[in-house]
C-alpha cells in the first residue's frame, strides 16, 4: 500500500515549506510526492489539476493520499464531495495532517448503503461552507469598494500607456503628420496606446493609414463566473489577460458574472482556453463548469466573424 503525498501553492511567490514541515512531522513512510506547478490556483477543480490527475492514475486500491491541510487539495463544498466520491470509487484513503479536518476519517462510509456517513458529510459541508462564506464576503467587499471608487470618479483598469504629461506632445505630432507607428516607436509604447491618446482625432486622419485594416469594435459579453475563475488560472496572452482584469463583476444570486469588453477575436481566444472544462486528459468534466463554458460559447457564437 503506497503513501501518496499531494502538495500545492496558489502563487509562484509561495513555497511549500510549511507543508513540508507538517508532512515531515507526520512520519510518512516511503512517500510518493505529487506537487503541482507553482501558482496552481485553488479555484481550479482538483480533478482538472495535472498533478492530481497523475496521482489518481498512479494510485491503486488501498493507497493513502496525504495532504498537509484540506484546502491544499480542495476549496468549496462541491469540490470536497467530488473528490471524496472519486476516492470511494477508487478505494483510496485520505489523511489530512493539520487543520479542522485532521481528526476526521473523511472517507468513512455506511457499511450497508455505501454512502458517505451523514456526520462526516455534515462536518465537511459545514466547514466548506464557512470557507466559501469567507471568500464571498471578501469578493463582496472588493466589489463594493470598486463601486465606491467609481462613484468618486476613479476609473478602474490599467493606466494609459502614454503618460498624461506626454499626451499633448503625441497629439501635436500626430496632427503634424507623424504616423501612429512612428509615434509608438518614439515613445516606446504600443500602437494601441497611441491610438487611445489620439482617439478623437482619428476620423480626420484615416487616409494616413489606408493600408491598415479597420480595427474591430469591442463587444461586451457576460462571462459566467466559473469560466472567469478558470481563466484566471490559465496562461493568457497580454490582451486576453487585460480584458479579464478589466472586467466588471456582477452578482448573480450566490455566484457572479464577469462583464468583459473585448474585440470578438479576444472573446474567441478566451473561449478556446476554456475547452478543458468539457473534460479531457482522462479527467471527468465538472457539470457546472461545463454548463458555464457552453453558456459563454453561446454568447460568443453570436459575434460577427
User: Which pTM was predicted?
Assistant: 0.44
* 64-69 and 93-98 strand pairing: parallel
Query: How far, in Å, are 70, 130, 178 from residue 215 at the CA level?
Result: 48, 47, 20
Residue count of the chain: 305
User: For residue 270, with 0-12 CB atoms within 10 Å meaning exposed, 13-18 middle and 19 or more buried, which class applies?
Assistant: buried
Picking from 269, 286, 264, the residue whose alpha carbon sits closest to that of residue 215 is 264
Query: In the numeric block, which cell numbers belong to residue 73?
Result: 487539495
Q: Pull the grid cell for residue 224.
A: 459566467
Reading the chain (305 residues) residue by residue, the pLDDT tens digits are: 899 999 998 876 678 888 999 999 989 999 999 999 887 877 788 888 999 999 999 999 989 999 998 878 887 667 877 888 888 888 888 888 887 677 666 666 667 766 666 776 676 667 666 656 666 676 677 667 767 766 776 655 555 577 777 888 888 888 877 888 888 888 888 888 888 888 877 754 444 444 455 556 788 899 998 888 888 888 888 888 888 888 888 887 778 888 888 888 888 889 888 888 876 555 566 788 888 888 899 888 887 65
Cell of 245: 482584469
Contact 190, 221 (CB under 8 A): no
pLDDT of residue 197: 84
Q: What grid cell was written down for 49?
A: 489539476
Amino acid at each position: 500500500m503506497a503513501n501518496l503525498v499531494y502538495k500545492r501553492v496558489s502563487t509562484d511567490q509561495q513555497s511549500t515549506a510549511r507543508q513540508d514541515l507538517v508532512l515531515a512531522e507526520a512520519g510518512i513512510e516511503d512517500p510518493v510526492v505529487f506537487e503541482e506547478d507553482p501558482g496552481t490556483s485553488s479555484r481550479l477543480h482538483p480533478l482538472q489539476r495535472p498533478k492530481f490527475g497523475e496521482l489518481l492514475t498512479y494510485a491503486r486500491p488501498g493507497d493513502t493520499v496525504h495532504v498537509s491541510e484540506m484546502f491544499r487539495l480542495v476549496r468549496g463544498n462541491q469540490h470536497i464531495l467530488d473528490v471524496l466520491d472519486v476516492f470511494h470509487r477508487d478505494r483510496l484513503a485520505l489523511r489530512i495532517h493539520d487543520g479542522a479536518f485532521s481528526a476526521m476519517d473523511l472517507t468513512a462510509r455506511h457499511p450497508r448503503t455505501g454512502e458517505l456517513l451523514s456526520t462526516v458529510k455534515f462536518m465537511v459541508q459545514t466547514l466548506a461552507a464557512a470557507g466559501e462564506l469567507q471568500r464571498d464576503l471578501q469578493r463582496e467587499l472588493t466589489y463594493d469598494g470598486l463601486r465606491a471608487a467609481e462613484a468618486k470618479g476613479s476609473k478602474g483598469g490599467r493606466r494609459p500607456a502614454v503618460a498624461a504629461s506626454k499626451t499633448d506632445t503625441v497629439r501635436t505630432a500626430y496632427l503634424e503628420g507623424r504616423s501612429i507607428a512612428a509615434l509608438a516607436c518614439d515613445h516606446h509604447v504600443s500602437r494601441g496606446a497611441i491610438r487611445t491618446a489620439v482617439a478623437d482625432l482619428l476620423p480626420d486622419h484615416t487616409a494616413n493609414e489606408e493600408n491598415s485594416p479597420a480595427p474591430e469594435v469591442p463587444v461586451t459579453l457576460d462571462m459566467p463566473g466559473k469560466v472567469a475563475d478558470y481563466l484566471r488560472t490559465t496562461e493568457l496572452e497580454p490582451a486576453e489577460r487585460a480584458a479579464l482584469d478589466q472586467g466588471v463583476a456582477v452578482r448573480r444570486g450566490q455566484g457572479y458574472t464577469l462583464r468583459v469588453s473585448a474585440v470578438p477575436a479576444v472573446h474567441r481566444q478566451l473561449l478556446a482556453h476554456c475547452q478543458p472544462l468539457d473534460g479531457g486528459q482522462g479527467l471527468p468534466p465538472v457539470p457546472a463548469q461545463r454548463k458555464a463554458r457552453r453558456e459563454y460559447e453561446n454568447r460568443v457564437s453570436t459575434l460577427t466573424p
